[in-house]
Amino acid sequence: MGMENGNLNGITLAEFARKSGGNYDTLYRKVRRKFPSEAWSAISTLSAEHIRELSAGRKKKASAELSGKTERLKSDKSENQNTLTHQPPEQAAEVAPPARQKTAVPKKESNREWVLVCLLIAPTAASVENMYNVTRSLSESAHTAVFLTVVLSVSALGFVWAGIRSKWVVALALLLITFECFCNLARIYGGLMGIGTTGNPTRFMGLVTDIFGSGTHQTAIVLGGITALFLAAVQYAAIISINKTKSI
């Protein structure tokens, strides 16, 4: 009721209805039913017993309403749980996230990677041999030539294979590739000009100079440069393609 019964002693029926928030007609009928031997009107004074009887009825009604709401909430919660528990398999399959399955690498993709590896190995082997001969001439030591060849030939390939995009690393890789191309050019030029063997240009050199009407020196440089570029292009195209295959 929001107030003690003792504070309401001596209050009229109309005032009790207004302060308690009840309907006057309802309280009038109720008090006549509870106390039929007494005469009742809006100005009738309520005793402590009258107030206790009227308040008890209102408390029971409020308790019943609260209990009903609680039962409805429990019922709704139970129905929701049963709905989730007894969900049809089709709906459960839709709600549940699909399991992540490991897909096997197709045989075609595997063969493609092996082809790319072979395309990488062949020009790399030729470049390593040419670089070793150049570094051997520079250092005049077989051990030093081996170490230099490994560092200079593997570094650029490693940077590109790892996919490093730093501008300093890219600049260094370009310098290493340029040096590799120079080593290939030098070795091919020496072979075409017969350096270290006969000392005379090869028959192939003579044939090319006759076809294009060019000088021996310039023709050997052009042929060596083209071959060196082809070797480098095949190497790094194979590496880039292998990286793309791995990322798929």
> pLDDT tens digits for the chain (248 residues)?
444 444 556 788 788 778 777 777 887 888 788 788 788 787 878 777 777 777 765 555 555 555 555 566 656 655 555 554 545 555 544 555 555 555 555 556 667 778 877 877 888 888 888 889 888 888 888 889 898 888 887 787 787 777 777 888 878 888 888 888 999 999 999 999 998 888 899 999 999 999 999 899 999 999 999 999 998 888 888 878 877 776 65
pLDDT at 227: 92
Q: Which residue has the tokens 């609260």?
A: 66
What's at 208, amino acid-wise?
V
Among 239, 244, 224, 246, smallest CA distance to 121 is for 239
Q: Do 121 and 226 form a contact (C-beta atoms < 8 A)?
A: no
pLDDT at 92: 45
> Whose structure tokens read 């009258």?
50
Could you tell me if 135 and 152 are in contact, meaning their C-beta atoms sit under 8 angstroms apart?
Answer: yes
